[in-house]
Chains A and B, each alone.
Chain A
Amino acid sequence: MNWEELVFEAKPFDGLLVLDVHGHIGAHRPFQLGAYSAAQVAQTATRMGVDAVCVSSLPSIVSDWKWGNEEVAQACRDFPGLILGYAVPNPYYEDCDIAPYLSMPGFRGIKVHGDMQGSLPLNDPRYFAAYELADKQRLPVLFHAWLPSEVAAATDVAKRYPNATIILGHSGMTARAAAVQAARECDNILIDTAISSTYDNAIEVLVDKVGADRVVYGSDISFFDCIHTMGKIALAKLSDTDKEKIFGLNAKELFRL
Protein backbone atom coordinates (compact mmCIF):
# COMPACT_ATOMS: atom_id res chain seq x y z
CA MET A 1 0.00 0.00 0.00
CA ASN A 2 1.37 3.41 -0.94
CA TRP A 3 0.08 5.35 2.05
CA GLU A 4 1.52 8.71 0.95
CA GLU A 5 -0.20 8.45 -2.43
CA LEU A 6 -3.43 7.45 -0.71
CA VAL A 7 -3.48 10.51 1.56
CA PHE A 8 -1.99 13.15 -0.72
CA GLU A 9 -4.25 12.19 -3.60
CA ALA A 10 -7.19 12.01 -1.18
CA LYS A 11 -8.17 8.53 -2.28
CA PRO A 12 -10.74 6.59 -0.28
CA PHE A 13 -9.31 3.77 1.82
CA ASP A 14 -10.84 1.16 -0.52
CA GLY A 15 -9.23 -2.26 -0.56
CA LEU A 16 -8.37 -1.94 3.11
CA LEU A 17 -10.70 -3.07 5.86
CA VAL A 18 -11.49 0.01 7.97
CA LEU A 19 -13.70 -0.44 11.03
CA ASP A 20 -14.18 2.53 13.30
CA VAL A 21 -14.88 1.30 16.84
CA HIS A 22 -15.65 4.72 18.31
CA GLY A 23 -18.39 6.86 16.78
CA HIS A 24 -21.38 8.91 17.86
CA ILE A 25 -24.52 10.25 16.29
CA GLY A 26 -27.00 12.79 17.59
CA ALA A 27 -26.96 16.35 18.85
CA HIS A 28 -24.89 17.50 21.80
CA ARG A 29 -26.00 20.05 24.37
CA PRO A 30 -22.83 21.78 25.66
CA PHE A 31 -21.30 22.75 22.33
CA GLN A 32 -22.01 22.70 18.64
CA LEU A 33 -20.82 19.68 16.72
CA GLY A 34 -20.13 19.69 13.02
CA ALA A 35 -22.06 17.11 10.98
CA TYR A 36 -23.65 14.71 13.49
CA SER A 37 -26.65 12.94 11.97
CA ALA A 38 -26.46 9.26 11.08
CA ALA A 39 -26.78 10.21 7.41
CA GLN A 40 -23.85 12.62 7.66
CA VAL A 41 -21.67 10.11 9.51
CA ALA A 42 -22.58 7.46 6.91
CA GLN A 43 -21.77 9.88 4.10
CA THR A 44 -18.30 10.62 5.49
CA ALA A 45 -17.64 6.93 6.11
CA THR A 46 -18.62 6.07 2.54
CA ARG A 47 -16.54 8.89 1.08
CA MET A 48 -13.48 7.84 3.09
CA GLY A 49 -13.83 4.12 2.35
CA VAL A 50 -14.65 3.22 5.94
CA ASP A 51 -16.38 -0.17 5.91
CA ALA A 52 -18.30 0.31 9.14
CA VAL A 53 -18.50 2.69 12.07
CA CYS A 54 -19.94 1.57 15.41
CA VAL A 55 -21.84 4.42 17.03
CA SER A 56 -23.66 5.33 20.20
CA SER A 57 -26.21 8.09 20.45
CA LEU A 58 -25.11 11.13 22.47
CA PRO A 59 -28.67 11.72 23.75
CA SER A 60 -28.68 8.11 24.97
CA ILE A 61 -25.71 8.95 27.20
CA VAL A 62 -26.72 12.36 28.56
CA SER A 63 -30.50 12.29 28.36
CA ASP A 64 -33.16 9.76 27.41
CA TRP A 65 -31.47 6.34 27.12
CA LYS A 66 -34.43 4.79 25.35
CA TRP A 67 -34.86 7.59 22.81
CA GLY A 68 -31.16 7.55 22.06
CA ASN A 69 -30.87 3.80 21.68
CA GLU A 70 -33.86 3.90 19.33
CA GLU A 71 -31.99 6.56 17.34
CA VAL A 72 -29.13 4.09 16.88
CA ALA A 73 -31.50 1.26 16.02
CA GLN A 74 -32.99 3.42 13.28
CA ALA A 75 -29.50 4.30 12.00
CA CYS A 76 -28.61 0.61 11.82
CA ARG A 77 -31.77 -0.01 9.79
CA ASP A 78 -31.14 2.96 7.51
CA PHE A 79 -27.48 2.13 6.84
CA PRO A 80 -27.23 -1.65 7.28
CA GLY A 81 -23.67 -2.86 7.64
CA LEU A 82 -22.22 0.63 7.46
CA ILE A 83 -23.58 1.92 10.77
CA LEU A 84 -23.23 -0.52 13.65
CA GLY A 85 -24.58 0.20 17.10
CA TYR A 86 -23.58 0.35 20.74
CA ALA A 87 -26.41 0.13 23.25
CA VAL A 88 -26.03 2.59 26.13
CA PRO A 89 -27.22 1.83 29.67
CA ASN A 90 -28.38 4.52 32.07
CA PRO A 91 -27.37 3.54 35.61
CA TYR A 92 -30.02 5.75 37.25
CA TYR A 93 -32.95 3.71 35.91
CA GLU A 94 -33.60 0.30 37.42
CA ASP A 95 -35.87 -0.50 34.48
CA CYS A 96 -33.17 0.30 31.92
CA ASP A 97 -32.83 -2.91 29.97
CA ILE A 98 -30.57 -2.79 26.94
CA ALA A 99 -30.85 -6.52 26.19
CA PRO A 100 -33.54 -6.02 23.50
CA TYR A 101 -31.23 -3.70 21.58
CA LEU A 102 -28.38 -6.19 21.64
CA SER A 103 -30.52 -8.66 19.75
CA MET A 104 -31.43 -6.12 17.05
CA PRO A 105 -29.64 -6.15 13.69
CA GLY A 106 -26.53 -3.99 13.68
CA PHE A 107 -25.91 -3.73 17.43
CA ARG A 108 -22.46 -5.06 18.25
CA GLY A 109 -21.70 -3.96 21.79
CA ILE A 110 -22.18 -1.58 24.72
CA LYS A 111 -20.90 1.94 25.32
CA VAL A 112 -20.46 3.40 28.80
CA HIS A 113 -19.59 7.01 29.64
CA GLY A 114 -19.61 7.67 33.37
CA ASP A 115 -18.13 11.14 33.01
CA MET A 116 -21.23 12.35 31.17
CA GLN A 117 -23.54 10.44 33.51
CA GLY A 118 -22.90 12.42 36.66
CA SER A 119 -19.21 11.47 36.89
CA LEU A 120 -20.19 8.00 37.98
CA PRO A 121 -17.28 5.53 38.26
CA LEU A 122 -17.62 2.93 35.55
CA ASN A 123 -17.23 0.11 38.06
CA ASP A 124 -20.29 1.34 39.94
CA PRO A 125 -22.57 -1.67 40.56
CA ARG A 126 -25.37 0.07 38.71
CA TYR A 127 -23.52 -0.72 35.47
CA PHE A 128 -23.06 -4.39 36.30
CA ALA A 129 -26.25 -5.61 34.61
CA ALA A 130 -24.92 -4.28 31.32
CA TYR A 131 -21.51 -5.86 31.89
CA GLU A 132 -23.15 -9.21 32.68
CA LEU A 133 -24.85 -9.10 29.30
CA ALA A 134 -21.53 -8.35 27.63
CA ASP A 135 -19.88 -11.19 29.50
CA LYS A 136 -22.59 -13.70 28.62
CA GLN A 137 -22.71 -12.70 24.96
CA ARG A 138 -18.93 -12.08 24.66
CA LEU A 139 -19.48 -8.52 23.48
CA PRO A 140 -17.19 -5.51 23.38
CA VAL A 141 -17.75 -2.66 25.83
CA LEU A 142 -16.39 0.72 24.79
CA PHE A 143 -15.34 2.74 27.83
CA HIS A 144 -14.87 6.47 27.91
CA ALA A 145 -11.48 6.18 29.60
CA TRP A 146 -9.81 9.57 29.40
CA LEU A 147 -8.28 9.62 32.87
CA PRO A 148 -6.12 7.12 34.75
CA SER A 149 -8.99 6.70 37.25
CA GLU A 150 -11.31 5.69 34.42
CA VAL A 151 -8.70 3.23 33.14
CA ALA A 152 -8.53 1.77 36.66
CA ALA A 153 -12.30 1.32 36.73
CA ALA A 154 -12.21 -0.32 33.30
CA THR A 155 -9.47 -2.67 34.47
CA ASP A 156 -11.59 -3.68 37.43
CA VAL A 157 -14.49 -4.44 35.07
CA ALA A 158 -12.23 -6.37 32.69
CA LYS A 159 -11.17 -8.63 35.56
CA ARG A 160 -14.70 -9.16 36.83
CA TYR A 161 -16.07 -9.95 33.36
CA PRO A 162 -13.33 -11.83 31.49
CA ASN A 163 -15.54 -12.85 28.56
CA ALA A 164 -16.29 -9.25 27.66
CA THR A 165 -13.76 -7.26 25.65
CA ILE A 166 -13.07 -3.82 27.09
CA ILE A 167 -12.05 -1.07 24.66
CA LEU A 168 -10.30 1.82 26.40
CA GLY A 169 -11.49 4.87 24.50
CA HIS A 170 -8.96 7.73 24.27
CA SER A 171 -6.57 6.59 26.97
CA GLY A 172 -3.84 5.30 24.69
CA MET A 173 -3.30 8.98 23.94
CA THR A 174 -4.43 10.68 27.17
CA ALA A 175 -3.43 8.26 29.94
CA ARG A 176 -1.02 6.04 28.12
CA ALA A 177 0.96 4.68 31.03
CA ALA A 178 -2.22 3.53 32.76
CA ALA A 179 -3.68 2.11 29.55
CA VAL A 180 -0.51 0.20 28.73
CA GLN A 181 -0.43 -1.25 32.25
CA ALA A 182 -4.10 -2.24 31.95
CA ALA A 183 -3.54 -3.95 28.60
CA ARG A 184 -0.61 -5.87 30.05
CA GLU A 185 -2.68 -6.99 33.03
CA CYS A 186 -5.78 -8.04 31.11
CA ASP A 187 -5.89 -9.94 27.83
CA ASN A 188 -9.44 -8.72 27.24
CA ILE A 189 -8.46 -5.04 27.00
CA LEU A 190 -7.92 -3.17 23.73
CA ILE A 191 -6.96 0.49 23.30
CA ASP A 192 -8.44 2.84 20.72
CA THR A 193 -6.85 5.79 18.93
CA ALA A 194 -9.53 8.46 19.47
CA ILE A 195 -8.20 11.88 20.42
CA SER A 196 -8.73 15.40 19.13
CA SER A 197 -5.08 16.30 19.20
CA THR A 198 -1.86 14.50 19.72
CA TYR A 199 1.65 14.45 18.36
CA ASP A 200 3.24 12.50 15.58
CA ASN A 201 4.77 9.22 16.77
CA ALA A 202 2.24 8.77 19.61
CA ILE A 203 0.60 5.79 17.87
CA GLU A 204 3.99 4.25 17.14
CA VAL A 205 4.90 4.48 20.84
CA LEU A 206 1.62 2.84 21.84
CA VAL A 207 2.12 -0.02 19.36
CA ASP A 208 5.66 -0.47 20.59
CA LYS A 209 4.40 -0.91 24.14
CA VAL A 210 1.35 -3.15 23.69
CA GLY A 211 1.63 -4.53 20.16
CA ALA A 212 -0.53 -3.78 17.12
CA ASP A 213 -2.92 -6.61 18.04
CA ARG A 214 -4.17 -4.54 20.98
CA VAL A 215 -4.77 -1.22 19.22
CA VAL A 216 -7.98 -0.45 17.31
CA TYR A 217 -8.92 2.47 15.11
CA GLY A 218 -11.45 4.77 16.76
CA SER A 219 -12.23 8.27 15.50
CA ASP A 220 -14.77 9.69 17.96
CA ILE A 221 -16.75 10.97 14.99
CA SER A 222 -18.89 13.19 15.20
CA PHE A 223 -17.06 14.97 18.01
CA PHE A 224 -14.14 14.96 15.60
CA ASP A 225 -13.71 14.44 11.91
CA CYS A 226 -12.52 10.88 11.33
CA ILE A 227 -10.06 12.12 8.71
CA HIS A 228 -7.32 13.36 10.98
CA THR A 229 -6.91 10.09 12.84
CA MET A 230 -7.04 8.09 9.60
CA GLY A 231 -4.27 10.29 8.23
CA LYS A 232 -2.26 9.93 11.40
CA ILE A 233 -2.34 6.13 11.22
CA ALA A 234 -1.87 5.99 7.45
CA LEU A 235 1.25 8.17 7.58
CA ALA A 236 2.63 6.63 10.79
CA LYS A 237 5.97 4.84 10.76
CA LEU A 238 4.40 1.42 11.17
CA SER A 239 4.46 -1.68 8.98
CA ASP A 240 1.61 -2.33 6.56
CA THR A 241 0.66 -5.34 8.66
CA ASP A 242 0.37 -3.26 11.82
CA LYS A 243 -1.70 -0.59 10.06
CA GLU A 244 -4.06 -3.22 8.64
CA LYS A 245 -4.59 -4.70 12.10
CA ILE A 246 -5.29 -1.30 13.65
CA PHE A 247 -7.55 -0.08 10.88
CA GLY A 248 -9.78 -3.14 10.76
CA LEU A 249 -8.50 -6.65 11.27
CA ASN A 250 -8.54 -6.45 15.09
CA ALA A 251 -12.08 -5.07 15.13
CA LYS A 252 -13.33 -7.56 12.55
CA GLU A 253 -12.84 -10.30 15.06
CA LEU A 254 -14.27 -8.17 17.83
CA PHE A 255 -17.45 -7.33 15.92
CA ARG A 256 -17.75 -10.83 14.47
CA LEU A 257 -17.88 -9.55 10.92
Chain B
Amino acid sequence: MDFSYSEEQQMLRDSIGKFISQDYDFDSRRAIVDSDTGYSMEHWKTFAELGWLTVPFKETDGGFGGSAVDLMVVMEEFGKGLLVEPFLANTVLAGTGLSEAANEQQKQTLLQPLMEGNLQLAFAFAEPQSRYQLADVQCSGQIEDNQIVINGHKAVVLNGEAADKLLVSVRTSGQTTERHGISLIVVDADSAGISHRAYTNVDGHRAADIWFDQVTVPVSNLLGEADKAIEIIEMVIDRAALAVCAEAVGAMQISLERTVEYTKIRKQFGVTLASFQALQHRMARMFMEVEQARSILLMAAMEMDRLDGRAPRALSAAKSRIGKAARKVGQESIQIHGGVGVTDELDVGHYFKRLTTIQYQFGSTDFHTARFAGS
Protein backbone atom coordinates (compact mmCIF):
# COMPACT_ATOMS: atom_id res chain seq x y z
CA MET B 1 0.00 0.00 0.00
CA ASP B 2 1.26 3.40 -0.94
CA PHE B 3 -0.61 6.70 -0.77
CA SER B 4 2.08 8.93 -2.20
CA TYR B 5 2.15 10.56 -5.62
CA SER B 6 4.94 9.69 -8.02
CA GLU B 7 7.36 12.41 -9.08
CA GLU B 8 5.60 12.68 -12.46
CA GLN B 9 2.22 13.01 -10.81
CA GLN B 10 3.56 15.67 -8.49
CA MET B 11 4.94 17.61 -11.47
CA LEU B 12 1.69 17.33 -13.34
CA ARG B 13 -0.16 18.64 -10.32
CA ASP B 14 2.21 21.54 -9.90
CA SER B 15 2.08 22.53 -13.55
CA ILE B 16 -1.75 22.62 -13.61
CA GLY B 17 -1.81 24.50 -10.30
CA LYS B 18 0.60 27.05 -11.73
CA PHE B 19 -1.47 27.48 -14.90
CA ILE B 20 -4.63 28.11 -12.90
CA SER B 21 -3.07 30.63 -10.56
CA GLN B 22 -1.42 32.53 -13.43
CA ASP B 23 -3.93 32.28 -16.28
CA TYR B 24 -7.28 31.16 -14.99
CA ASP B 25 -8.59 33.51 -12.34
CA PHE B 26 -12.32 33.95 -11.87
CA ASP B 27 -12.66 36.90 -14.27
CA SER B 28 -10.70 35.21 -17.07
CA ARG B 29 -12.88 32.16 -16.66
CA ARG B 30 -16.01 34.26 -16.85
CA ALA B 31 -14.82 35.83 -20.11
CA ILE B 32 -14.19 32.36 -21.54
CA VAL B 33 -17.64 31.11 -20.52
CA ASP B 34 -19.22 34.20 -22.13
CA SER B 35 -17.23 33.85 -25.38
CA ASP B 36 -18.74 32.41 -28.59
CA THR B 37 -17.00 29.07 -28.35
CA GLY B 38 -17.31 28.70 -24.57
CA TYR B 39 -13.71 27.65 -24.19
CA SER B 40 -10.30 29.09 -25.00
CA MET B 41 -8.60 27.61 -28.06
CA GLU B 42 -5.38 29.20 -26.87
CA HIS B 43 -5.59 27.38 -23.53
CA TRP B 44 -6.46 24.16 -25.32
CA LYS B 45 -3.23 24.48 -27.33
CA THR B 46 -1.34 25.09 -24.11
CA PHE B 47 -2.84 21.93 -22.59
CA ALA B 48 -1.65 20.00 -25.64
CA GLU B 49 1.85 21.51 -25.47
CA LEU B 50 2.12 20.68 -21.78
CA GLY B 51 1.08 17.10 -22.51
CA TRP B 52 -2.08 17.18 -20.39
CA LEU B 53 -4.20 15.85 -23.25
CA THR B 54 -2.17 12.62 -23.28
CA VAL B 55 -2.70 11.81 -19.59
CA PRO B 56 -5.45 9.16 -19.78
CA PHE B 57 -3.77 7.20 -22.56
CA LYS B 58 -1.40 4.26 -22.59
CA GLU B 59 2.25 4.77 -23.41
CA THR B 60 1.88 2.38 -26.35
CA ASP B 61 -0.67 4.81 -27.81
CA GLY B 62 1.69 7.73 -27.22
CA GLY B 63 0.07 8.71 -23.92
CA PHE B 64 1.33 9.63 -20.45
CA GLY B 65 0.43 6.27 -18.92
CA GLY B 66 -3.31 6.07 -18.62
CA SER B 67 -3.73 5.24 -14.96
CA ALA B 68 -6.89 6.31 -13.15
CA VAL B 69 -4.70 7.90 -10.48
CA ASP B 70 -3.10 10.14 -13.14
CA LEU B 71 -6.52 11.17 -14.39
CA MET B 72 -7.60 11.88 -10.81
CA VAL B 73 -4.61 14.17 -10.28
CA VAL B 74 -5.48 16.23 -13.37
CA MET B 75 -9.21 16.46 -12.74
CA GLU B 76 -8.80 17.45 -9.10
CA GLU B 77 -6.67 20.41 -10.17
CA PHE B 78 -9.13 21.31 -12.95
CA GLY B 79 -11.87 21.25 -10.33
CA LYS B 80 -10.01 23.79 -8.23
CA GLY B 81 -9.95 26.19 -11.17
CA LEU B 82 -13.43 25.29 -12.47
CA LEU B 83 -12.00 24.78 -15.94
CA VAL B 84 -14.57 24.78 -18.75
CA GLU B 85 -12.25 23.64 -21.54
CA PRO B 86 -13.74 20.40 -22.99
CA PHE B 87 -11.27 17.97 -21.42
CA LEU B 88 -14.03 15.75 -20.09
CA ALA B 89 -15.83 15.52 -23.45
CA ASN B 90 -12.72 15.05 -25.57
CA THR B 91 -10.03 13.44 -23.56
CA VAL B 92 -12.00 11.45 -21.01
CA LEU B 93 -15.22 10.42 -22.77
CA ALA B 94 -14.30 10.21 -26.45
CA GLY B 95 -10.66 9.47 -25.66
CA THR B 96 -11.46 6.47 -23.45
CA GLY B 97 -13.82 5.17 -26.11
CA LEU B 98 -11.04 5.36 -28.70
CA SER B 99 -8.40 3.96 -26.43
CA GLU B 100 -10.61 0.95 -25.60
CA ALA B 101 -12.27 0.26 -28.95
CA ALA B 102 -10.44 1.92 -31.86
CA ASN B 103 -8.38 -0.07 -34.35
CA GLU B 104 -4.86 1.03 -35.29
CA GLN B 105 -6.02 3.18 -38.18
CA GLN B 106 -8.68 4.89 -36.09
CA LYS B 107 -6.12 5.56 -33.39
CA GLN B 108 -3.90 7.19 -35.99
CA THR B 109 -6.63 9.39 -37.45
CA LEU B 110 -8.53 10.18 -34.25
CA LEU B 111 -6.56 9.56 -31.07
CA GLN B 112 -3.31 11.13 -32.29
CA PRO B 113 -4.85 14.47 -33.36
CA LEU B 114 -6.94 14.43 -30.18
CA MET B 115 -3.79 14.24 -28.05
CA GLU B 116 -2.18 16.97 -30.17
CA GLY B 117 -5.17 19.24 -29.59
CA ASN B 118 -6.09 19.37 -33.29
CA LEU B 119 -9.35 17.46 -33.19
CA GLN B 120 -12.52 18.14 -31.21
CA LEU B 121 -14.72 15.15 -30.34
CA ALA B 122 -17.93 14.44 -28.46
CA PHE B 123 -19.38 11.25 -27.02
CA ALA B 124 -23.12 11.04 -27.71
CA PHE B 125 -24.55 8.32 -25.48
CA ALA B 126 -27.56 9.70 -23.58
CA GLU B 127 -31.07 9.99 -24.95
CA PRO B 128 -34.10 11.92 -23.70
CA GLN B 129 -35.73 8.79 -22.23
CA SER B 130 -32.62 6.91 -21.06
CA ARG B 131 -31.69 8.72 -17.85
CA TYR B 132 -28.74 6.69 -16.52
CA GLN B 133 -29.51 3.38 -18.26
CA LEU B 134 -26.73 3.07 -20.79
CA ALA B 135 -28.43 0.18 -22.61
CA ASP B 136 -31.56 2.23 -23.18
CA VAL B 137 -30.64 3.12 -26.77
CA GLN B 138 -33.37 3.94 -29.29
CA CYS B 139 -31.21 5.81 -31.77
CA SER B 140 -31.06 3.31 -34.63
CA GLY B 141 -28.21 2.27 -36.88
CA GLN B 142 -29.29 0.18 -39.82
CA ILE B 143 -26.45 -1.72 -41.42
CA GLU B 144 -26.87 -2.43 -45.12
CA ASP B 145 -24.42 -2.74 -48.02
CA ASN B 146 -21.35 -1.54 -46.12
CA GLN B 147 -23.26 1.48 -44.88
CA ILE B 148 -24.93 2.44 -41.65
CA VAL B 149 -28.00 4.67 -41.65
CA ILE B 150 -28.55 6.52 -38.37
CA ASN B 151 -31.81 7.95 -37.09
CA GLY B 152 -32.56 9.33 -33.64
CA HIS B 153 -31.96 11.94 -30.97
CA LYS B 154 -29.03 12.26 -28.54
CA ALA B 155 -29.41 14.36 -25.42
CA VAL B 156 -27.10 16.86 -23.69
CA VAL B 157 -23.98 15.94 -25.67
CA LEU B 158 -21.00 17.67 -24.05
CA ASN B 159 -18.97 19.65 -26.61
CA GLY B 160 -21.67 18.71 -29.10
CA GLU B 161 -21.41 21.94 -31.07
CA ALA B 162 -17.64 22.34 -31.32
CA ALA B 163 -16.97 18.69 -32.09
CA ASP B 164 -15.52 17.81 -35.51
CA LYS B 165 -16.59 14.22 -35.05
CA LEU B 166 -19.16 12.47 -32.88
CA LEU B 167 -18.88 9.06 -31.24
CA VAL B 168 -22.50 7.89 -31.23
CA SER B 169 -24.12 4.90 -29.54
CA VAL B 170 -26.77 3.35 -31.79
CA ARG B 171 -28.96 0.28 -31.72
CA THR B 172 -27.95 -2.00 -34.55
CA SER B 173 -30.09 -4.91 -33.30
CA GLY B 174 -32.33 -6.05 -30.44
CA GLN B 175 -34.93 -4.31 -28.27
CA THR B 176 -34.59 -0.88 -26.67
CA THR B 177 -33.05 -1.79 -23.29
CA GLU B 178 -31.23 -4.95 -24.37
CA ARG B 179 -27.50 -4.98 -23.65
CA HIS B 180 -26.73 -6.80 -26.87
CA GLY B 181 -27.20 -4.89 -30.11
CA ILE B 182 -25.56 -1.58 -29.29
CA SER B 183 -22.76 -0.23 -31.47
CA LEU B 184 -20.45 2.79 -31.40
CA ILE B 185 -20.02 4.74 -34.60
CA VAL B 186 -17.79 7.65 -35.58
CA VAL B 187 -19.77 10.30 -37.45
CA ASP B 188 -18.52 13.52 -39.06
CA ALA B 189 -20.32 16.37 -37.37
CA ASP B 190 -21.08 18.03 -40.70
CA SER B 191 -22.66 14.96 -42.31
CA ALA B 192 -25.90 15.49 -44.18
CA GLY B 193 -28.96 14.87 -41.97
CA ILE B 194 -27.43 16.09 -38.67
CA SER B 195 -29.01 19.01 -36.93
CA HIS B 196 -28.34 20.32 -33.47
CA ARG B 197 -29.45 22.84 -30.90
CA ALA B 198 -26.48 24.06 -28.87
CA TYR B 199 -26.60 25.71 -25.44
CA THR B 200 -24.60 26.51 -22.33
CA ASN B 201 -25.23 24.32 -19.31
CA VAL B 202 -25.91 25.87 -15.88
CA ASP B 203 -22.29 25.15 -14.92
CA GLY B 204 -20.82 27.02 -17.91
CA HIS B 205 -19.94 23.95 -19.97
CA ARG B 206 -21.21 23.77 -23.55
CA ALA B 207 -23.51 21.01 -24.83
CA ALA B 208 -26.07 20.27 -27.52
CA ASP B 209 -29.02 18.07 -28.35
CA ILE B 210 -28.36 16.36 -31.68
CA TRP B 211 -30.80 14.86 -34.18
CA PHE B 212 -29.87 12.29 -36.83
CA ASP B 213 -32.11 11.98 -39.91
CA GLN B 214 -31.02 9.30 -42.36
CA VAL B 215 -27.36 10.04 -41.67
CA THR B 216 -25.28 7.64 -43.69
CA VAL B 217 -21.71 6.55 -42.85
CA PRO B 218 -19.52 3.68 -44.10
CA VAL B 219 -19.36 0.47 -41.99
CA SER B 220 -15.65 1.13 -41.46
CA ASN B 221 -16.73 3.92 -39.09
CA LEU B 222 -17.74 1.30 -36.51
CA LEU B 223 -15.71 1.61 -33.35
CA GLY B 224 -15.10 -1.95 -32.20
CA GLU B 225 -17.45 -4.80 -33.06
CA ALA B 226 -21.07 -4.24 -34.10
CA ASP B 227 -23.69 -5.00 -31.39
CA LYS B 228 -21.09 -5.37 -28.64
CA ALA B 229 -20.38 -1.83 -27.49
CA ILE B 230 -22.22 -1.79 -24.16
CA GLU B 231 -19.22 -2.86 -22.10
CA ILE B 232 -17.05 -0.23 -23.77
CA ILE B 233 -19.69 2.43 -23.08
CA GLU B 234 -19.92 1.35 -19.43
CA MET B 235 -16.17 1.57 -19.08
CA VAL B 236 -16.15 5.04 -20.65
CA ILE B 237 -18.90 6.30 -18.35
CA ASP B 238 -17.26 4.85 -15.24
CA ARG B 239 -14.04 6.61 -16.17
CA ALA B 240 -15.91 9.86 -16.72
CA ALA B 241 -17.63 9.38 -13.37
CA LEU B 242 -14.25 8.98 -11.69
CA ALA B 243 -13.06 12.11 -13.48
CA VAL B 244 -15.94 14.25 -12.22
CA CYS B 245 -15.56 12.77 -8.73
CA ALA B 246 -11.99 14.06 -8.71
CA GLU B 247 -13.13 17.38 -10.14
CA ALA B 248 -15.69 17.62 -7.33
CA VAL B 249 -13.05 17.00 -4.67
CA GLY B 250 -10.97 19.87 -6.06
CA ALA B 251 -14.01 22.16 -6.25
CA MET B 252 -15.10 21.24 -2.71
CA GLN B 253 -11.63 21.98 -1.39
CA ILE B 254 -11.83 25.52 -2.76
CA SER B 255 -15.44 26.02 -1.63
CA LEU B 256 -14.42 25.11 1.90
CA GLU B 257 -11.36 27.37 1.83
CA ARG B 258 -13.34 30.32 0.48
CA THR B 259 -16.03 29.85 3.11
CA VAL B 260 -13.61 29.61 6.03
CA GLU B 261 -11.69 32.68 4.79
CA TYR B 262 -14.88 34.69 4.37
CA THR B 263 -16.12 34.00 7.91
CA LYS B 264 -12.80 35.24 9.27
CA ILE B 265 -13.29 38.60 7.55
CA ARG B 266 -17.03 39.26 7.51
CA LYS B 267 -18.32 40.94 10.68
CA GLN B 268 -21.84 41.04 12.08
CA PHE B 269 -22.93 42.05 15.59
CA GLY B 270 -19.44 43.53 15.96
CA VAL B 271 -17.64 40.16 15.65
CA THR B 272 -16.47 37.91 12.83
CA LEU B 273 -18.80 35.17 11.58
CA ALA B 274 -16.00 32.74 12.42
CA SER B 275 -16.61 33.33 16.12
CA PHE B 276 -20.10 31.77 16.02
CA GLN B 277 -20.12 28.12 17.05
CA ALA B 278 -23.24 27.43 14.98
CA LEU B 279 -21.18 28.28 11.89
CA GLN B 280 -17.92 26.74 13.11
CA HIS B 281 -19.52 23.34 13.49
CA ARG B 282 -21.07 23.51 10.05
CA MET B 283 -17.65 24.24 8.56
CA ALA B 284 -16.13 21.34 10.50
CA ARG B 285 -18.76 19.12 8.85
CA MET B 286 -17.81 20.52 5.47
CA PHE B 287 -14.20 19.67 6.21
CA MET B 288 -15.10 16.09 7.10
CA GLU B 289 -17.19 15.78 3.94
CA VAL B 290 -14.22 16.87 1.83
CA GLU B 291 -11.89 14.42 3.59
CA GLN B 292 -14.28 11.49 3.28
CA ALA B 293 -14.80 12.38 -0.37
CA ARG B 294 -11.05 12.47 -0.95
CA SER B 295 -10.57 9.12 0.77
CA ILE B 296 -13.19 7.31 -1.26
CA LEU B 297 -11.89 8.93 -4.44
CA LEU B 298 -8.40 7.54 -3.77
CA MET B 299 -9.94 4.15 -3.10
CA ALA B 300 -11.88 4.15 -6.37
CA ALA B 301 -8.94 5.35 -8.48
CA MET B 302 -6.65 2.70 -7.05
CA GLU B 303 -9.28 -0.04 -7.47
CA MET B 304 -9.74 1.06 -11.09
CA ASP B 305 -6.02 0.67 -11.71
CA ARG B 306 -6.10 -2.91 -10.42
CA LEU B 307 -8.09 -4.04 -13.49
CA ASP B 308 -9.58 -6.99 -11.59
CA GLY B 309 -13.25 -6.32 -12.24
CA ARG B 310 -14.01 -4.63 -8.95
CA ALA B 311 -13.88 -1.11 -10.36
CA PRO B 312 -17.63 -0.59 -10.97
CA ARG B 313 -18.53 -1.31 -7.34
CA ALA B 314 -15.73 0.94 -6.05
CA LEU B 315 -16.68 3.66 -8.49
CA SER B 316 -20.30 3.55 -7.44
CA ALA B 317 -19.30 3.87 -3.79
CA ALA B 318 -17.25 6.93 -4.69
CA LYS B 319 -19.86 8.58 -6.91
CA SER B 320 -22.53 8.04 -4.27
CA ARG B 321 -20.45 9.40 -1.40
CA ILE B 322 -18.96 12.27 -3.36
CA GLY B 323 -22.38 13.23 -4.69
CA LYS B 324 -23.59 13.50 -1.11
CA ALA B 325 -20.54 15.52 -0.09
CA ALA B 326 -20.81 17.81 -3.13
CA ARG B 327 -24.40 18.64 -2.25
CA LYS B 328 -23.60 19.30 1.39
CA VAL B 329 -20.46 21.36 0.80
CA GLY B 330 -22.00 23.32 -2.07
CA GLN B 331 -25.18 24.20 -0.20
CA GLU B 332 -23.38 25.03 3.03
CA SER B 333 -20.87 27.28 1.31
CA ILE B 334 -23.78 29.38 0.01
CA GLN B 335 -25.66 29.42 3.31
CA ILE B 336 -22.62 30.45 5.33
CA HIS B 337 -21.73 33.23 2.89
CA GLY B 338 -25.24 34.60 3.31
CA GLY B 339 -26.79 36.91 0.70
CA VAL B 340 -23.60 37.44 -1.25
CA GLY B 341 -23.46 33.66 -1.78
CA VAL B 342 -26.47 33.73 -4.09
CA THR B 343 -25.05 36.49 -6.29
CA ASP B 344 -23.43 35.84 -9.64
CA GLU B 345 -20.43 38.02 -8.80
CA LEU B 346 -18.84 35.68 -6.27
CA ASP B 347 -17.02 32.49 -7.25
CA VAL B 348 -18.53 30.24 -4.53
CA GLY B 349 -21.84 30.22 -6.36
CA HIS B 350 -20.11 28.98 -9.49
CA TYR B 351 -18.39 26.19 -7.57
CA PHE B 352 -21.81 25.31 -6.16
CA LYS B 353 -23.24 25.09 -9.68
CA ARG B 354 -20.54 22.73 -10.88
CA LEU B 355 -20.82 20.65 -7.69
CA THR B 356 -24.54 20.38 -8.40
CA THR B 357 -24.25 19.27 -12.04
CA ILE B 358 -21.64 16.66 -11.12
CA GLN B 359 -24.24 15.01 -8.88
CA TYR B 360 -26.39 14.33 -11.94
CA GLN B 361 -23.76 13.37 -14.49
CA PHE B 362 -22.88 9.72 -15.24
CA GLY B 363 -25.33 8.34 -12.67
CA SER B 364 -26.88 10.26 -9.80
CA THR B 365 -26.10 9.70 -6.13
CA ASP B 366 -29.11 7.42 -5.70
CA PHE B 367 -28.37 5.55 -8.92
CA HIS B 368 -24.88 4.69 -7.69
CA THR B 369 -26.00 3.85 -4.15
CA ALA B 370 -28.41 1.33 -5.67
CA ARG B 371 -25.76 -0.03 -8.05
CA PHE B 372 -23.39 -0.44 -5.09
CA ALA B 373 -26.08 -2.22 -3.06
CA GLY B 374 -26.81 -4.57 -5.94
CA SER B 375 -23.19 -5.51 -6.61
- Check if A and B associate: no
Chain A residues within CB distance 8 Å of chain B: none
Chain B residues within CB distance 8 Å of chain A: none
